[in-house]
Amino acid sequence: MSINQESILLLKGIIEKKGHVHFPSEGFSMYPCIRQNDLCTFEKAPVLKKGDIVLFHTKSGQLVAHRLVRIRHQNKQMQYIFKGDTNLYCDEPVMGEQIIGKLTAISRENQTKAYMAAPFDYMWSWLMLLFPFSSRFLKRYINQKIAN
């Protein structure tokens, strides 16, 4: 989803004022954790840790929610490295000012709201972090699912 600077400021303002913002998901980069058309709830993220799913904007103006895989310090600045669970490669480094919020809940059609503190979410997060090659299998599965 493309977004301009005014919209980014508006999103950050809504999170500051209301405490959260809801977004419908697009794409398959976070499958099966996030599925097409899930309603994702993002809240302010004062502290991020490996495994968190974070909403950020890219330098080209794309709005993305991917998993934090690494935090690094370069040129006295903190950079965040994200990756979609089904993506084969990491995204370009993200600076703190590009971060909008952290995923806290997912609402899926005909199911109760799932909060990101559930044991399955922790296990899935660590599986993705410890076994990054599993993205290849997920990517292959999604490609077959879309083709059928």
Among residues 116, 97, 123, 128, the alpha carbon closest in space to that of 20 is found at 116
CA distance 138 to 29: 9
Contact indicator for 66, 120 with CB cutoff of 8 Å: no
Among residues 54, 138, 134, 43, the alpha carbon closest in space to that of 96 is found at 54
pTM metric for this prediction = 0.86
- Look at the chain and count its residues: 148
**For residue 111, what are the contacts with CB-CB under 8 A and spacing of at least 6?**
none
CA distance 64 to 76: 25
Query: What is residue 98's DSSP assignment?
Result: G
Encode the chain (148 residues) as per-residue pLDDT tens digits.
678 889 889 999 999 999 999 989 999 999 888 988 999 999 998 899 999 999 999 999 899 999 999 999 988 899 999 999 999 999 999 999 999 999 999 988 877 666 666 677 778 887 888 887 888 888 888 888 776 6
CATH class of 5-147: mainly beta
